[in-house]
Amino acid sequence: MTSSHKKVHIISLGCVKNTVDSEIIAGGLEAAGIELVEEAESANTIIINTCGFIGDAKQESVEVILDAAQLKTEGQLEELLVAGCLSARYKKELTREMPEVDKFFVTEDFRKIFDHIASKPHLADDPDHWRKLLTPRHYAYLKISEGCDNVCSFCAIPLMRGKQRSRSIGDLVKEANSLVTRGVREMIVIAQDSTTYGWDLKPKRYLHELLTELDQVEGLDWIRLHYAHPSHFSRKLIPVLKNARRILPYLDIPVQHASTNMLSAMKRGLDADGLRRLLLDLRSEIPNLKLRTSVIVGFPGETQEDFDTLLDFLEEIQFDRLGVFTYSEEEDTSGAELEDDVPPEVKIERMDAVMDLQHSISFNKNQELIGQEVDIIIDSPDPEVEGQMLGRTIWDAPEIDQVVMVSGSYEPGTIVRLKIDDAGAYELNASGIQDSLISIDGIN
């Protein structure tokens, strides 16, 4: 099968960092003249970009590989390729156990994938410039670094993606400008740990320097910051976030727990008092700031007292957005050396308790928005309700946060000011105040 006859379907699993990798793969192949197809059944080559972060994600990746392998068995598929984190971590085992897969690639094996499929080298020195966006055209992710230097005892990411490798500020600003020319209005800054950005560069650079430069990119309306590790959060970031024109008053800052015992066992750096001071300072210094976090329950050694401490902390801080996970043992991490002594049913009970509390917090916060005018970006028509659009407030990231059901018709990517008419715990209803595009100035 020559490259000109290949029809490639890409399946991207896991986090948005994987999404960016899939976009680089897709863009490079398209630039090389390879046809990309949206349906697996229409392809003669499938690339699966896998996730290997936790047990459920690994299981999903395996199931998707097996489903694609079935297409190959039935003769619909000629070639099955697997890339990403699961492939990076278990390449030898997968090669032995899944002979249906023609070739396994590790993370960032972009050029090898291009060489294999297109039979020629990739066409650009920097594959990021060939990204084919898999998101709606009005928002995109900007991955500022790869890998991670942290040693969190529950996390295997460094085993799969290696040590941190930051990109230069110049390259990132160049890519941001390129994204704007393609219609991107909202840019979401991501890394495994965004707050250590630039520490590995020579000379050393810092996140507040990068954000200051990105804030100057003309044509960009919203910048959203994700994955800010609290232990590495520099106070120099606060005035940048406070005074920026385009950086939203939204911060994703995963705390993982609030018991000092658990934070120490998880190797998170800050203790509970340090976390509390940081979060209260952020709320005090940055007007209108909304905080997203994630927590893990059921880590080895978590007592009822530890869990009660976490609940009390969540009640006190009142996070605006929150995700909760039950602990999943990851082999070769330091957490795997501990006895997983919290029964599965207790983990589920604790997760449910956290979500019940957050449901109440989110409902009360959303009720306070009723009657207010809020800046909203329109994402798409509502597939379930004719004449209704789906959007997000400045405090909501795509995929993971709540949506706004908007009456009327707007072009996706439009930013409008709307009045909140009604609210539940995880959704808002809004109607138009004005149809015209609004300025991003003054959102803080």
Model-wide pTM > 0.75: yes
Using 50 as the pLDDT threshold, list the residues of the chain that sit under it.
Answer: 435-444
Q: Are the beta carbons of 31 and 124 closer than 8 angstroms?
A: yes
* SS3 state at 78: coil
CB proximity list for 405: less than 8 A, separation 6 or greater: 382, 385, 388, 389, 390, 427, 428, 429, 430
Q: Are the beta carbons of 325 and 56 closer than 8 angstroms?
A: no
Q: Are the beta carbons of 197 and 166 closer than 8 angstroms?
A: yes
Region at 413 (left for phi over 0; alpha for psi -120 to 50; beta for the rest)? left
* SS3 state at 307: helix
Nearest to 10 by CA among 157, 133, 137: 133
379 to 35, 213, 406, 435: CA distances (angstroms): 27, 27, 10, 15
10 Å Cβ neighbour count for 178?
Answer: 14
Q: Are the beta carbons of 117 and 6 closer than 8 angstroms?
A: yes
Give me the pLDDT at residue 388, please: 93
Residue with tokens 């007592």: 303
Q: Are the beta carbons of 357 and 314 closer than 8 angstroms?
A: yes
CA torsion 150-152-156-159 (nearest 10°) is 30
Q: Are the beta carbons of 429 and 404 closer than 8 angstroms?
A: yes
Nearest to 112 by CA among 91, 94, 98: 91
Q: Are the beta carbons of 55 and 83 closer than 8 angstroms?
A: no
Give me the pLDDT at residue 443, please: 43
Give the pairing of strands 415-423 and 373-381. antiparallel
Indicate the angle between helix axes 304-317 and 344-367, nearest 10 degrees.
Answer: 10
Q: Are the beta carbons of 340 and 333 closer than 8 angstroms?
A: no
Give me the pLDDT at residue 436, please: 43
Q: What amino acid is encoded at 215 in this protein?
A: D
Give me the pLDDT at residue 117, please: 87
From CA 385, how far away is CA 375, in angstroms rounded? 22
Give me the pLDDT at residue 440, please: 40
Give me the pLDDT at residue 3, please: 53
Give me the pLDDT at residue 245, please: 95
Give me the pLDDT at residue 323, please: 96
CB proximity list for 198: less than 8 A, separation 6 or greater: 145, 166, 169, 204, 205, 206, 207, 209, 210
Q: Which residue ranges form the domains of the chain, and what is each CATH number?
A: 3-118 (3.40.50.12160), 133-366 (3.80.30.20), 373-432 (2.40.50.140)
The tokens of 24 are what? 């680089």
